[in-house]
Amino acid sequence: MAYHYQRGIITIKIVQKEFGPTDAQVIDQFLKRVKLDNDFLLKYFTYNDQNQYPYFTLEYANSNSLEIIAQQSLVPLPSYTLRALLKQILEGIQFIHKSGLIHQDIRCANILMHNPPNSKVVHTKIYNYSSTKQEGLIFTPQYLAQMYPYMAPELYKFPVILTQKADIYSVGVVFYRLIVHKYPIYEASFEDQLKKINKTKRIERPKEIQNDTFWDQLQMMLKFDPHYRFSATEALQHKYFTGTQAQIDTTPDQRKISKQAKKAEKKGNIYISQFDKEPSFIVEESVIKQFQQNIDSLNNEQEQDHKDKQENKDDGKDKQKQMDKYKDNTQTQQEQEQEQQQEQQAPESDAFKSALISLDFVQPSQSPTSDVLQSTLSSSSLELNHQNQTISLSYAATEEQIQAESDLFELKMSLEEIKQKLELFSCISILQRDVVCENLCRTIEGNQQNCNKAKQFDITNHFMSVQFKINLIEEKKEFRKEC
């Protein structure tokens, strides 16, 4: 993010090493020629290759991406907002397709949202043109982990002939996720995904989609055969957008914002578009803000949890230092006392060593010579007493370690708690991850009812999605180090 003296806040996208400068120049020339000037496309400005790291400059979007909706099943998405979001995105896709292009990387993370200053609306912004190509090309697609759940079935067949219908399938997957909060088809590896695609004939209707008209629209976008799949224009003409229900399903706030836009246009506001005057296109800021506030709250909880863990870790280090210092002092004192006693009682000392050796071969509750030697074993110390002489070995466990040990012993987490932990998986410690995984294994092992419940909660897919995110975060960290 940066500030431009004419355009205000803009986005800077650095060209990564695997994305060559020649590719970037081609995209630069293509975007300048096409001029993607549409309310629902992230505007492209310039490409600069005069520095060590070439970069693109683009319009800035200030309200996160559709991922914040797809990842939050507990926050309801109103039907009128769902319709307006889909309508905006299809308008943006239609503009790209009328230019003779295919975006080829439509997914939730590549659809940003922007709330223009001093307004109560949110515009979707289709983003990331690095994979955009002309229609009709024969090519080898990129099978990236984050892309293939959105890829149309025909992209898994060779040779791949790219058509605009592939984008429509991806849009269908996006809106399937917004409602169901999982992918229609998702396997852990590309090979398994390919096998599942080849075995599947169509996407079945999930129980979460209750609206018949919406499902009729969506299943036409998710057709496996691209010849029977909707185009962007056909999708916008469907009764889901043009029928009576679509006209009724608008809110007073949507209609009010529409009237205000019309008045502003009459007063000479040149920034009002046709979409600002149509209630069915309006996504209210207040609805999207609920998702943003909820994700901010979760992030704050994660940060506080991480801070608390760090403080506990630091406290544990301080305690360990104190214990080590005490142990060193005690050991020195014991060595001195032992030397004195060895001089005075050499025979008894030999007997004491024999007793220590034999202690390794008995249970902690037993005593090799109960009259002479006693042993005391606890979770934090081991003491050996011989007359007036004591040898003590101690360690100090952190609160996190003690809690993890207790959780692993009890293994009483419910599937609901496991799912909640998985949503925070990338931010919790390795110990806590072990606890979550062990609880998951113990809960579903040999229990068909829990297995079915885990599938309903989509825990397995969520776990794999989290793992991909963790890997992506690690890759970003490595890239920042190189920068």
How many structural domains are present in the chain? 4
Same domain, 240 and 334: no
Same domain, 51 and 67: no
Does residue 98 lie within any of the structural domains? yes
Same domain, 185 and 167: yes
For residue 379, count CB atoms less than 10 angstroms from its CB and return exposed for 0-12, middle for 13-18, buried for 19 or more.
exposed
Same domain, 138 and 182: yes
For the stretch 346-361, what's the b/e string if a residue is b when 16 or more beta carbons lie within 10 angstroms of its beta carbon? eeebeebeebeeebee
Does residue 304 lie within any of the structural domains? no
Same domain, 216 and 240: yes
Same domain, 75 and 214: yes
* Tokens at 127, concatenated: 């983003």
pLDDT tens by residue, the chain, 483 residues: 777 767 778 888 776 654 555 556 666 666 666 667 789 999 888 877 777 777 878 889 988 999 999 999 989 999 999 999 999 999 999 999 998 889 889 999 999 999 988 889 999 999 888 787 777 766 666 666 678 899 999 988 877 778 999 999 999 999 999 999 999 999 988 889 989 999 999 999 999 999 999 999 999 999 999 999 999 999 999 999 999 999 899 999 999 999 999 999 999 988 888 999 999 999 999 999 999 888 888 777 777 777 777 777 766 666 677 777 767 777 777 777 777 776 665 554 554 454 444 444 344 444 444 343 333 333 444 444 444 444 444 445 667 667 766 666 667 778 787 777 777 766 777 777 777 787 778 777 777 877 877 777 777 666 666 555 555 555 555 545 554
* Tokens at 57, concatenated: 């400059």
Which domain range does residue 381 map to? Answer: 317-394
Does residue 49 lie within any of the structural domains? yes
The per-residue pLDDT for 205 is 96
Does residue 310 lie within any of the structural domains? no
Same domain, 180 and 322: no
Same domain, 464 and 332: no
Does residue 184 lie within any of the structural domains? yes
Does residue 357 lie within any of the structural domains? yes
Same domain, 162 and 75: yes
Which residue, of 377, 394, 411, is where some domain finishes? 394
Which residue, of 9, 29, 60, is where some domain finishes? 60
Q: Classify 156 in phi/psi space as left (phi over 0), alpha (psi -120 to 50) or beta.
A: alpha
Does residue 179 lie within any of the structural domains? yes
Same domain, 22 and 34: yes
For the stretch 143-182, what's the b/e string if a residue is b when 16 or more beta carbons lie within 10 angstroms of its beta carbon? eebebbbbbbbbbbeeebebbbbbbbbbbbbbbbbbbbbb
Dist CA 58 CA 406 (whole Å): 51
Same domain, 115 and 228: yes
Q: Is the peptide bond before 116 cis (omega within 30 degrees of 0)?
A: no
Does residue 238 lie within any of the structural domains? yes
Which residue, of 204, 222, 249, is where some domain finishes? 249
The per-residue pLDDT for 381 is 44
The per-residue pLDDT for 182 is 95
Same domain, 223 and 90: yes
The CATH number of the domain holding residue 177 is 1.10.510.10
